[in-house]
Amino acid sequence: MCEVLAVPRSSYYDSLEKTTSKREIENLESKARYGAPKIHKTLLNRGFFLSLKRVQRLMKKADIRSITKKKYRPYPSKEKVVQLDNLLKRDFSTCTINEKWVADITYIPTVRDGWCYLASVLDLHSKKIVGYSFSRSMTSELVIEALQNACFSQKPRKGLILHTDLGSQYTSSEFTQHVQKQGIKQSFSQKGCPYDNACIESFHAILVNVK
């Protein structure tokens, strides 16, 4: 491995013996997220008595800023939501794979591109993601690509139920046409009922909150 990577063997063995200091561990755990209030509290716990305002002044002088994650605020749709058939009816039981799929979109914060969107398709039998798509825009193309990837990898038979919410991407004519072409039956959650699509909602909630 050392020869392939052009790394001296001595450097490799030194890295094995090197121990991580307490300060380095603390820096890794904080992930540079500490702002003035947390730094102020940490200093007080270590016996350094100074005001919060002084900590703020010193941080500003040294140009130290904490890494913050902006709260995602979705834009409410002004379009009237039409209630569509709910074939799933919270029956998440299955007998085999490719019988019932659930799909949804979530937002993912990125360092370079800000808020991006992830469309996922989950098989209720295997509890695995069978298709997904990632984009900076929340469009019909995003969910179509996720479904295409799922169909390509799984090659489901006709009659598969695909359950989603009433988002404009899933109710668009482009997506509906693609679903019908694949012989898939569409099922929709009732308006304002996230429990109708609880499995994929839960997966995305865990994914977004992973630190």
**pLDDT for position 123:** 95
Q: Is 33 a member of any domain?
A: yes
Q: Is 15 a member of any domain?
A: no
For residue 163, give the H/E element and its range.
strand 161-164
Query: What is the spatial distance between Cα 71 and Cα 65, in angstroms, rounded to a whole number?
Result: 18
**pLDDT for position 185:** 96
- Does residue 113 sit in the same domain as residue 172? yes
**pLDDT for position 79:** 52
- Does residue 204 sit in the same domain as residue 143? yes
Q: Is 187 a member of any domain?
A: yes
30 vs 175, residue with greater confidence: 175
Q: Is 86 a member of any domain?
A: no
Q: Could you give the number of structural domains in the chain?
A: 2
pLDDT tens digits for range 135-168: 999 999 999 999 999 999 999 999 999 999 999 9
- Does residue 124 sit in the same domain as residue 204? yes
Q: Is 193 a member of any domain?
A: yes
Q: Is 155 a member of any domain?
A: yes
- Does residue 106 sit in the same domain as residue 205? yes
What is the residue range of 32's domain?
A: 21-68
pLDDT tens digits for range 45-58: 888 888 888 888 88
**pLDDT for position 21:** 58
Contact 132/149 with Cβ under 8 angstroms? yes
Pick from 44, 89, 67: nearest CA to 188: 89
- Cβ neighbourhood burial of 135 (10 Å; 0-12, 13-18, 19+): middle
Query: What is the spatial distance between Cα 119 and Cα 104, in angstroms, rounded to a whole number?
Result: 6
Average confidence (pLDDT) over 21-37: 59
Confidence band of 99 (pLDDT split at 50, 70, 90)? very high
Average confidence (pLDDT) over 189-199: 85
- Does residue 108 sit in the same domain as residue 175? yes
- Does residue 114 sit in the same domain as residue 201? yes
Query: What is the spatial distance between Cα 91 and Cα 46, in angstroms, rounded to a whole number?
Result: 55
11 vs 112, residue with greater confidence: 112
Contact 36/55 with Cβ under 8 angstroms? yes
- Does residue 133 sit in the same domain as residue 200? yes
Taking the model in full, what pTM does it have? 0.62
Query: What is the spatial distance between Cα 33 and Cα 43, in angstroms, rounded to a whole number?
Result: 16
